[in-house]
Every structure is written in C-alpha cells, then in structure tokens.
Amino acid sequence: MKFMNQPRCRAFTLVEIMVALAIFGMLVAAIYSTWTLLLRSKQVGNAAAAQVQRQRIAVRTLEDSLTCVQSFQASQSYYSFIVQNGDKPMLSFVARVPAIFPRNGRFGDFNLRRLTYTLESGPDSERDLMLRQNPILMDVDSDEQGTPLVLARNVQDFVVECWDTNAVDWVDQWDDTNSIPPILRVSLVLGSSADPNNKLSALAITRVIAIPSMMLPSVLQASRGGGVAGGTGINPHGGLGAHP
C-alpha cells in the first residue's frame, strides 16, 4: 500500500518526441533555406555591381582615348587607325591620353601612345577585353604583351562601327587611310544567360562617340623648307620640332 500511494512521474511518449524532432527539423530547414537565399542574393548583387563597374570602366576608357586621337598624314606608318571586327575584333589607334588614363605610371612622360583593344580568350573559357599600350615609335614591351590590362571579363561581343560620310551609313571596317572616322559606335556585351555558372543575363551597352580630332594634312606637317623629316614644322609629339 505504501508504494501505491507514491506520485506518478510524467514523461514524454515516443510519439511526442518524434513530433518535436520533426518540428525542430522543419525549423532548421527553414532557417537554412532563408540563410542560403540571403547568401545567394548577396552574391548575385555583388556580381551585378561588379559587372556594371567593369563595364563603366571599360566604356569610360574607350571614350577617353577616342576623344584624344591624333593622326598625321605624312606619318601613317605610325598613326594608322585600325578597325577589325569578326572572331578577333580589334581597335588600334594613337592618342595623347589624359593624366587619369590607366597605367600612366608605367610610361612616365610618354603620354602619346598607341592603344590596342582586343577581345581574347581568358580563363574558364571566357573572353576578355584587353588593352595594350606602347609609346609612339616604340614596340610593345614583353611585360605589356604578356600581361595586358584586362578592362572587362566575360565579354560576349565587342563591335566597333565607323560612320562613313560617303556612304552615309555605319561600316564595320575603316579603309580610308587619309582620314580618321568622325564618329564611332562601340557596342559591348558582358555576361551571358547561357552560361550555367553565370546567374546574370547579358548586359549590353552601346556608345556613339564623336572624335573631335582630324588627320593633319602633310602640307601642314611639312617644314617651312618644304621637307617633312627633320624639319621645323609641327611635331607629332606636340609643338614644333623634328618629325619621326
């Protein structure tokens, strides 16, 4: 009789424990899913911001350089304006670049440089927009050739079109060696929705850039004595003096 009067101890049944564990598991899964979603959203946001920044820098560099083009008719071997589209697009010209231009520190006072923009294969089977520079009258050094400036990564397309005043239309090549195009239309496409590793859709931008410069005729570049080389006419490097 003494044992039967003792209070009974309460405990959870096996079913209650299983239900509690199931609810706890669902809460953990919900928290993990929310945290994963936040992390992915942050990654996509950072990638989008970086993509826009890269595109802005690339377009700004193109605009700054194209508005500083220099060309001299009597020195076309040095000042040629080259436009190439297709599988290996390229844009190459000579410009007196501003003080804020990328990699100015490498070239010191040589701010009159040939700039060559190319679209080349990069890591992970992507294509990158590259910029190589060399001072006028000098070849591209090994460092610049091997490690060019990467303006934009994962570039799907890079198209340069010139305004032809004779045809009154855009052309994808420039054959007139006695002038430089008055207007350029540059199209740049970054990223691709077809890439499974890229969560961003393709980002395209087009800029119409007016070139304020014009090719200096030979008659103006020539010296007062009538010759070109070694005269005292207009120096392609700025001011008066000898010519290359």
Q: Is the model's pLDDT at 244 over the cut of 90?
A: no
Average pLDDT of 58-80? Answer: 89
> Contact 122/156 with Cβ under 8 angstroms?
no
Confidence band of 235 (pLDDT split at 50, 70, 90): very low
Taken as a whole, the chain contains a residue count of: 244
> Contact 124/151 with Cβ under 8 angstroms?
no
List the one residue out of 57, 237, 91 whose CA is nearest residue 161: 91
List the one residue out of 154, 158, 151, 150 whose CA is nearest residue 205: 158
Q: Is the model's pLDDT at 226 over the cut of 80?
A: no
157-168: pLDDT as tens digits: 999 999 999 889
Question: In 169-212, where do the E strands start and end?
Answer: 169-171, 183-190, 203-210
- DSSP-derived letter for residue 241 is S
| Highest-scoring range by mean pLDDT, 40-44, 72-76, 81-85, 178-182 | 81-85
192-213: pLDDT as tens digits: 644 445 545 677 889 999 999 8
> Contact 154/128 with Cβ under 8 angstroms?
yes
Q: In what order do the strands lie in the sheet with 127-135?
A: 82-84, 90-96, 112-121, 127-135, 149-152
**Residue whose tokens read 């080259």:** 82
List the one residue out of 203, 173, 174 whose CA is nearest residue 187: 203
- The DSSP string of 59-85 is HHHHHHHHTTB--BGGGHHHH--EEE-
Question: 206: which strand partners?
Answer: 187
Q: What is the pLDDT of residue 65?
A: 93
29-33, 83-87, 232-236: the lowest-pLDDT one: 232-236
Cα(146)–Cα(135) distance, integer angstroms: 17
Question: In 54-179, where do the E strands start and end?
Answer: 82-84, 90-96, 112-121, 127-135, 149-152, 155-164, 169-171
Q: In whole numbers, what is the pLDDT of the chain averaged over residues?
A: 81
> Contact 61/148 with Cβ under 8 angstroms?
no
Cα(85)–Cα(83) distance, integer angstroms: 7
Give the global pTM: 0.71
Average pLDDT of 140-144? Answer: 91
